[in-house]
């Protein structure tokens, strides 16, 4: 079916992208996500992948996923809160929690929904979010959905974050400081130690998105919290299974109450 007049604005927007030179064609991977692989029939050295440890093609993971599929099927058949929580979800959550040295963990469909679902559910419109200007889109979307007031600090600039905290010091709302552990665009490391110290000083909630730090930083890839020795100082740790772990899915780690709350209130988990 061709585009009907009702969607003509989309065609116009695409024409504009073409005119600006920002329209792109998706590159198509012909084989496995490997250091040398084929896109659109051409052999390339792949420097763009997030499969940092090569686990996406690890024979042990492939075997385990086939075995789990045979045993449990290809889908959970329902959302987590109705009938779709399987024994292997709980095992995965326990293992991740142990790995991250926290009380509990909840697994989401993706890192995107983990961030967006968490930020939007733990804050409300009377609260404040202090967010690094290069934080991931899923944090930005979660912040917007929460309806909290968003204050953006300069990239990795803890002093600027403190200035913003001072401005709202006497406001009654809760404050949440968020940074990526490793930033997705440039691969630089967020000042988790400095921001966690600010969170302590100003009574703010501290949250780290470790999508790119997990499997990469810290002891055995435990992430930026471990890298900076900040165990117990970061209230919310988000991670993804789609990068260094080589599969798909996201998770949130923290206290038992945080996780129990997310089971009850995080919309991607509920619906
Ligand atoms: C910093 C960061 N957070 C979260 C995500 C979302 O993770 P997922 O791909 O599992 O949805 C990404 C993915 O690009 C990311 O780069």
110 lines ligand 1 (CB under 6 A): yes
Helix/strand/coil for 260? helix
Token pair 């968020």 is at which residue? 178
d(CA 210, CA 253): 11
Contact criterion met (CB below 8 Å) for 224 and 190: yes
Helix/strand/coil for 12? helix
Q: How does DSSP assign 104-155, residue by residue? A: EEEEES-HHHHHHHHHHHH--TT-EEEEETT--HHHHHHHHHHTPEEEEEPT
51 lines ligand 1 (CB under 6 A): no
Closest atom of ligand 1 relative to the 248 alpha carbon: 10
d(CA 102, CA 238): 12
CA of 34 to the centre of ligand 1 (A): 19
CA of 158 to the centre of ligand 1 (A): 23
Per-residue pLDDT of the chain (271 residues; tens, 9 = 90+): 788 999 999 999 999 999 999 999 999 999 999 999 999 999 999 999 999 999 999 999 999 999 999 999 999 999 999 999 999 999 999 999 999 999 999 999 999 999 999 999 999 999 999 999 999 999 999 999 999 999 999 999 999 999 999 999 999 999 999 999 999 989 999 999 999 999 999 999 999 999 999 999 999 999 999 999 999 999 999 999 999 999 999 999 999 999 999 999 999 999 9
CA of 211 to the centre of ligand 1 (A): 6
Domains and CATH numbers, the chain: 5-45 (no CATH), 60-270 (3.40.640.10)
Contact criterion met (CB below 8 Å) for 200 and 161: no
pLDDT at 1: 79
d(CA 263, CA 260): 5
pLDDT at 93: 98
Question: 232's torsion region: left (phi>0), alpha (psi -120 to 50) or beta?
Answer: left
């Amino acid at each position: 079916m061709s585009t009907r007049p009702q969607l003509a604005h989309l065609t116009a927007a695409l024409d504009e992208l073409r005119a600006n030179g920002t329209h792109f064609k998706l590159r198509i991977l012909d084989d496995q996500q490997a250091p040398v692989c084929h896109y659109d029939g051409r052999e390339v050295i792949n420097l763009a992948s997030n499969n940092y440890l090569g686990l996406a093609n690890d024979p042990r993971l492939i075997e385990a996923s086939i075995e789990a599929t045979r045993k449990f099927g290809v889908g959970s058949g329902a959302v987590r809160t109705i009938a779709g929580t399987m024994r292997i979800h709980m095992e995965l959550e326990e293992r991740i929690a142990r790995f991250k040295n926290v009380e509990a963990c909840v697994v989401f469909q993706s890192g995107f929904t983990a961030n967006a679902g968490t930020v939007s559910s733990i804050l409300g419109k009377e609260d404040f979010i202090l967010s690094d200007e290069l934080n991931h889109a899923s944090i930005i979307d979660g912040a917007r959905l929460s309806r909290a007031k968003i204050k953006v600090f300069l990239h990795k600039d803890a002093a600027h974050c403190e200035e913003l905290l001072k401005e709202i010091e006497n406001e009654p709302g809760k404050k949440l400081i968020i940074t990526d552990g490793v930033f997705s665009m440039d691969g630089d490391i967020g000042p988790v130690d400095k921001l966690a110290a600010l969170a302590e000083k100003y009574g703010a909630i501290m949250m780290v998105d470790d999508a790119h730090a997990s499997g990469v930083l810290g002891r055995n890839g435990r992430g930026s919290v471990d890298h900076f020795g900040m165990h117990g100082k970061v209230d919310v740790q988000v991670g993804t299974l789609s990068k260094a772990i080589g599969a798909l899915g996201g998770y949130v780690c923290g206290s038992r109450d945080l996780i129990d709350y997310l089971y009850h209130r995080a919309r991607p988990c509920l619906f």
